Structure 1
Amino acid sequence: MRTGPEEVTLRAVLLDWDGTLLDSYHADTQAYLEMFQELGIGWGAAELARHYSPDGHRVYRAAGLPRNRWEQADRLWGRFYQRQKPALLPGARRVLRELSRRFTLGLVTSGSRARVRRQLRHFGLSELFAVRVCCEDAPRRKPHPAPLEVALRRLRLKPEVCVYVGDSPEDIEMARRAGVRAIAVLGPFPTHDGLRAVRPDALLSSIDQLPRLLKNY
């Protein structure tokens, strides 16, 4: 990877979780739909897809849910999500193990700490990540750069020696605002048009393509 005339060696690959490594679209959607029904919100899958964001509070705002009910919505969503059993995306495990031999890996996600840690343990991936930043670990959520900046501070790395890989426009904006090169992956969530519109530094059709891309960095 280059920043200006001098070559910079890539040292760390930071990744999103849901939709980038975890095939969680069905689980996520089902939890939202059950939560909407419980709260009397007349939204279906089409409305959710149209207003989807990795920041659930943006979804609540779009659905007209009063702020004083967001905590209740979070609890309901978490309860309904626990019934779901999302799997890793095809190739995700192999990609992570391959990349871990060359780079420091980190996870920067909007998911809750309890859920993400539980899923990492379930898939046997916890030891691969040198740092994990979840929604409770930063003062602001994506697309604000704060979550990625927390990861950089914990790793004691400069932005120019890292890349961030995500599946939503918010991921790309966060990376750019943090000074980190942004790689987009077309995942299961309804974000493909938005990703193309924000013009990431690279756009992959699947996570399988990431190791080959990074050979050129």
Structure 2
Amino acid sequence: MVSEYDYWLLDLDGTLIDVEWSYTREVFDRVGDRLGREFTDQEADIIWSGLTGSRDRQLEAWGIDPHEFWEAFHAEEDPMVRAEQTYLHDDAAFVAELDVPVGLVTHCQEFLCEPVLDNVGIRDWFDARLCCTEETGWKPDPAPVESVLRELGVAHNGHEGVLAGDGANDVGAAWNAGLDAIHVERVGHERRGQCVLGDYRVESFDELPGRP
């Protein structure tokens, strides 16, 4: 049963929170101006939501240098505006009720993550958190997950844990670190274009068996 896990790790964007589409569209418009290339709604959705897995590989397939893209992207993201445009999924509220160690492992960069956590009021949900970088590694690499497990004090202690996220990279990171994986399909299989496997596959945390 899900309620019997000894610790939980969670992804952030697309799992616990999301941002209004108007914000995403405006950011990609400005990034497109910087790069001299327009992004369609579908392309913006694919990159923002990581629908095809590796965002860098997808950018390269479109002939876009990932380093140049992310440099432009982060330059155009306003932390306070993003925080104001971010909302918490109702079904994520159960995380506040978990009476076990809880960690956050996100690709959201720290300068964006911190105001977002404050704006939606969930900073105190987590006993440890990590914003992935080139130094920490990126999911599905287990390194950032293992780093949070060490900070939580649960690494290699024989207890059972789970990682919940909205993408294939989250599931991969969980399995690579020896954890169970919950895939929360927020966008739908048709929009994603593929089906992501996990130990649990749900469209809402409300569907989890034995949810606390």
TM over 0.5, shorter chain: yes
Aligned residue in 1 for 2:87: 87
Deviations along 1:146-169, whole A, 9 cap, x unmatched?
Answer: 221111121121365210000011
1:44 maps to 2:40? yes
Secondary structure of the residue aligned to 1:184 is strand
Checking the alignment, whether the CA contact within 8 Å between 1:31 and 1:81 is kept in structure 2 is no
Aligned residue in 1 for 2:10: 15
Structure-to-structure mapping, 1:172-211, within 5 angstroms: 172-188=171-187, 192-194=192-194, 196=195, 198-210=196-208
What is the Cα deviation at residue 131 of structure 1?
0.6
- Tell me the distance in 1 between the aligned counterparts of 2:65 and 2:32: 13
- Computed over aligned residues only, the root mean square deviation of the Cα atoms, in angstroms, reads 3.0
Deviations along 1:53-81, whole A, 9 cap, x unmatched?
Answer: 27654453343222552453233342498
Which range moved further: 39-48 or 166-175? 39-48
Checking the alignment, whether the CA contact within 8 Å between 2:29 and 2:38 is kept in structure 1 is no
What is the Cα deviation at residue 189 of structure 1?
7.6
Deviation >6 Å, runs of 4+: none
Checking the alignment, whether the CA contact within 8 Å between 1:57 and 1:70 is kept in structure 2 is no
Aligned residue in 2 for 1:5: none
Checking the alignment, whether the CA contact within 8 Å between 2:27 and 2:73 is kept in structure 1 is no
Which range moved further: 182-191 or 200-209? 182-191
- Tell me the distance in 2 between the aligned counterparts of 1:129 and 1:176: 21
Structure-to-structure mapping, 1:101-116, within 5 angstroms: 102-116=99-113
Secondary structure of the residue aligned to 1:76 is helix
Aligned residue in 2 for 1:118: 115
Of the candidates 30, 33, 42, which is equivalent to residue 34 of structure 1? Answer: 30
1:74 maps to 2:68? no
The total of aligned residue pairs comes to 203
Deviations along 1:24-62, whole A, 9 cap, x unmatched?
Answer: 262445423431233212321123445652765445334
The structure-2 alpha-carbon separation of the partners of 1:68 and 1:180, relative to structure 1 and needing over 3 Å to count, comes to closer
Secondary structure of the residue aligned to 2:114 is helix
Identity percentage over the alignment?
Answer: 27
- Tell me the distance in 2 between the aligned counterparts of 1:189 and 1:38: 31
The structure-2 alpha-carbon separation of the partners of 1:209 and 1:103, relative to structure 1 and needing over 3 Å to count, comes to farther
Checking the alignment, whether the CA contact within 8 Å between 2:24 and 2:44 is kept in structure 1 is no
- Tell me the distance in 2 between the aligned counterparts of 1:17 and 1:129: 11
TM-score by length of 1: 0.78
In structure 2, stretches of 5+ residues that fail to align are: none
